[in-house]
Amino acid sequence: SQTIHQWPATLVQPVGSPLSLECTVEGTSNPNLYWYRQAAGRGLQLLFYSVGIGQISSEVPQNLSASRPQDRQFILSSKKLLLSDSGFYLCAWTFNTEAFFGQGTRLTVV
């Protein structure tokens, strides 16, 4: 069965510190992978999506970057976090018409 793992569930980081959120997928191959963010009081915003290893598309200019070192691994990173990076981050993957989400990471930048 297809599953998606995202960790950590919660994270509190100081301004200026680095970030690494990891997402792995099981039970499928060559999925489309996504990072979304839900800021407080706002909808889901697509940050990055990837259709294959090393292929990353960025949707909005920001302080974050993404990498896909393996087919089923998607990493969201930042070298220096800003206060505005706080939010709820979701990893997702799609295959044909199905889309699956991780449980999310609540990031608080202090």
Partner 1 sequence: DQQVKQNSPSLSVQEGRISILNCDYTNSMFDYFLWYKKYPAEGPTFLISISSIKDKNEDGRFTVFLNKSAKHLSLHIVPSQPGDSAVYFCAASRQGGSEKLVFGKGTKLTVNP
Q: What is the DSSP string of 9-46?
A: SEEEE-TT--EEEEEEEES-SS-EEEEEEE-TTS-EEE
Q: Is 7 in the site for partner 1 (CB under 8 A)?
A: no
- Minimal distance, residue 79 CB to partner 1, in Å: 25
- Sites for partner 1 among residues 38-77 (CB under 8 A): 42-46, 49
Tell me, what amino acid is at 15?
V
**Binding of partner 1 by 93 (CB under 8 A):** no
CB nearer to partner 1: give 78 or 93.
93
Distance of alpha carbon 37 from alpha carbon 48, whole angstroms: 10
To partner 1, the closest distance from the beta carbon of 41 in angstroms equals 9
CB closer to partner 1, 19 vs 102:
102
Task: Report CA 69 to chain centroid distance, whole Å.
Answer: 14
Round to whole Å and give the CA distance between 85 and 64. 8
Q: Which stretch binds partner 1 (CB under 8 A): 12-20, 62-70, 76-84, 94-102?
A: 94-102
- Beta-carbon count within 10 A of 13 CB: 16
Contact residues for partner 1, defined by CB under 8 A? 6, 32, 34, 36, 42-46, 49, 88, 90, 92, 94, 96-104, 106
